[in-house]
A and B are shown apart, each in its own frame.
Chain A
Amino acid sequence: MTASMSGAPLLAAENLIKTYGGAPALAGVSLTVRPGESLAVMGASGSGKTTLLHCLAGIIPPDAGRVRLFRDTAPPLEVTALNDDARSALRRREFGFVFQQGLLIPELTAGENVALALMLDGTPRPQAEQAAANALADLGLAGMAERRIGELSGGQAQRVAIARAQVTGARMLFADEPTGALDSRTSAEVMERLLRTVQGTGRALVVVTHDSEVARWCGRIITLADGVVVADTSGAAGIRR
């Protein structure tokens, strides 16, 4: 059963294979992510879900298979054919990341954490800080740009991480257990904010989670077992749609 959206793809993976010390982490995974889509990747520990996210985002190259990023004004870019530096640059410009517990830089303020994503690509600091303040305000954190990370709640810190992921205008957002350290109410709030950054913006979201409640927020859920996709279904957002 497949629940893919129709239309041009944003990211496509074909027959991804990755092994660690002889043990297969991915054993031929193919999938397509389309603009506006939210995709949850579920599976037990060791099923290959984080490895899949790493391969899709160009963090690690697969042993075989390819990942292509489709862009409006340029031919498709084969992520898996790029060298390490080019993949780093691609992640800065085209992808956004949200990790468990945010993993923000504790010495920087919330605004600086977000602005840093733009400064890394050469945006002058005043413009970067202004864009960061706007992104934080969009996520309900107006006036908190000067706060240090330790002064924020878990949910607020995760919203700063979301702002950091989307401030560069990245079209693909990846989230690895984004609610792993949060209570259920804050988890729901963070997932709502994450999905809001995707809906009607042309972006797409891939969320790795082991929590079926979190996965249900997404439009589509794929389940991995032993490195292969064993289920591809609609989530609550998909059903609503």
Chain B
Amino acid sequence: MTAMASALIRAVDSSPLAVPLRITWLLNRPGTAGRTAALLPAASFAVVTTLLLTVLAGSLSFLQWGDEEGDLYLLLAGFALILLVLPLITLGGSAARLAARRRDEHLSTLRLLGASAATVRRVTVLEAGAQALAGALAGVAGYVVLAPFVQLIHFRGAPLGAAYWLNPGAGTATVAAVVLLAAVSSAVGLRRVTVSPLGVRTRAKAQKVHWSRAGIAVAVLGLCVLALVIPGAGAALGLMIIFGVFAAGMSVLNLAGPWLVGVSARRRLKRAQTPQALLAARIVLDSPKAAWRQVSALSMVCFTAVIAGAGAAALQGAQAEGPEDFLLQDIMTGVFITVIAGFLMVACSAGINQAATVLDRAELYRSLAKTGMPREVIDAARIGAVMQPVLLVSLVSCAVPAVLLFPIIGAALLFAPVTMIFLAVSVAAGVVLVRAGLAATGPVLTGVLDTGSGAGGKTQLPLH
């Protein structure tokens, strides 16, 4: 055993990873400064893993039936999983960006000391991977803790029960996927910045979003409406049209999203009469694309929730009681779970992004507090900068499918109004969830403001 360990150490020592590994350990060994900052990305990877394992386990539990209807359930579950991939990537990306931002200072110091760009890249990826691994293992514990509650959810008239448990192979693959996602996000994130001995990055001008995005979006919307009015289409064509409408709708939202967020922020900026309104609008306008990116996952979730929810509700309301009741009821259950899981992930990534922003801007926030700016104003500004795009995206993403599929929405409202109200309430609950995620970062701000009034009270943190 000792011989094996020695051989392993010799192999690592002679590999190109030897130096990055030693530096990574040196910077992250127990007792080093900045461990709180390192805890945030690890915690977010834990949330990613818990949600991923839970949704995956729920979906794979449909394998227990093995009949034709079970296959349909698997297909629908696969679709829900695809929907949750974007929020998951956003959340993973947020965690990786936070990890990279926290490393800014010591990365440039490493360059100053003569480390090559390749060494710095390897250190970054190794650190992100290590944090993700720690978080993912904690996430497995989260999956186990959630089990008794998720196992109570009913599909086809029975609770999920023991079918919820994933086999160890799938669990291990999920943990590996999360670590890989962190490493890739970190490497991609590094390509966008230059790590020089003098610092990491600076940006002076606000990003602008061209109006042509809106033009392209309108054109896609028009083509989509044309496709819908083609008469005499067969079932296959109908299915293709539905997927086409879905894809087109999503591209409309993604093309027009940043532009819409920017236009809305510009309008709010003009009308702003309070410091918090002015600040919130300016923060969004600083990068409408970033503001959109943070909440874009909601567009897909809301968009699908309206289409699937309204479709199932319309059918449920229109037909008599029968065995299909389970399917339609279960589709609604799946829609609600997807909506809440999607919002939960966005709430987590919004919270993580906010925590990172507060830490990055600690010195600025402390200086504002010293000049007499109330903590409530700082809080309202940073929360408003996220919630305004969240509300806009939720509203628009529900409105676009409602316009595209207005006959189905009308039928659903007519035949199953209670279900539609429940759907609206779950979207509203999701918005509240995001707000709660942001409120959870309040103690980070309090901590930052409290530490600023000590002796000296100086910390050198980057403003961006």
Contact = CB atoms under 8 A, between A and B. Distances in A.
A92 to B, nearest CB: 3
Contacts of A45: 456
Contacts of B283: 107
B371 A25 contact: no
Contact of A99 (B204, B367, B372): B367
SS class, residues of chain B in contact with chain A: loop
- Contact-residue bracket for chain A: 35 or more
B279 A92 contact: no
A120 B370 contact: no
B279 A90 contact: no
A59 B367 CA distance: 10
Interface in A20-54: 20, 25, 45-46, 48, 50-51, 54
B367 A116 contact: no
Interface string A113-144: 00011011000110000000000000000000
Interface of A: 20, 25, 45-46, 48, 50-51, 54, 57, 59-60, 85, 88-93, 95-97, 99, 103, 105-108, 112, 116-117, 119-120, 124-125, 148, 150-151, 164
A169 to B, nearest CB: 14
Interface string B235-250: 0000000000000000
B285 interface: yes
B363 to A, nearest CB: 6
Nearest to B206: A148
B455 A105 contact: no
Contacts of A112: 278, 282
A46 B455 CA distance: 8
B458 A107 contact: no
A96 B372 CA distance: 9
Interface stretch (B4-12, B211-219, B269-277, B346-354): B269-277
B279 A54 contact: no
B64 interface: no
Contacts of A92: 371-373
A10 to B, nearest CB: 18
Contacts of B272: 125
A112 B273 CA distance: 12
Nearest to B278: A112
A125 B278 contact: yes
Given A108-B282, A116-B278, 8 more contacts: A51-B456, A57-B370, A92-B371, A92-B372, A95-B371, A96-B371, A106-B286, A125-B278
A203 to B, nearest CB: 16
Contacts of B278: 108, 112, 116, 119, 125
Given A107-B282, A150-B205, A116 B275 contact: yes
Nearest to A91: B372
A41 B456 CA distance: 14
Interface residues of B, number: 34
A95 B373 CA distance: 12
Contacts of B454: 20
Interface of B: 202-206, 272-275, 278-279, 282-283, 285-286, 363-364, 367-374, 377, 453-458, 463-464
A201 B283 CA distance: 36
15 contacts: A50-B456, A50-B458, A92-B372, A92-B373, A95-B371, A97-B367, A97-B371, A106-B364, A107-B279, A107-B286, A112-B282, A116-B279, A120-B372, A150-B205, A151-B204
Nearest to A59: B370
B364 to A, nearest CB: 5
B364 A91 contact: no
B290 to A, nearest CB: 12
A32 to B, nearest CB: 23
B372 A60 contact: no
B132 to A, nearest CB: 30
Contacts of B372: 88-93, 95, 120
A106 B368 CA distance: 13
A106 B282 CA distance: 9
A106 B456 contact: no
What are the nearest 3 A-B pairs in CB distance?
A150-B204, A92-B372, A91-B372
B273 A103 contact: no
B377 A120 contact: yes
B367 A103 contact: yes
Contacts of B453: 54, 59-60
B370 A91 contact: yes
Nearest to A108: B282
B463 A106 contact: yes
A124 B279 CA distance: 15
Contacts of B282: 105, 107-108, 112
Nearest to B281: A107
A67 to B, nearest CB: 15
B463 A120 contact: no
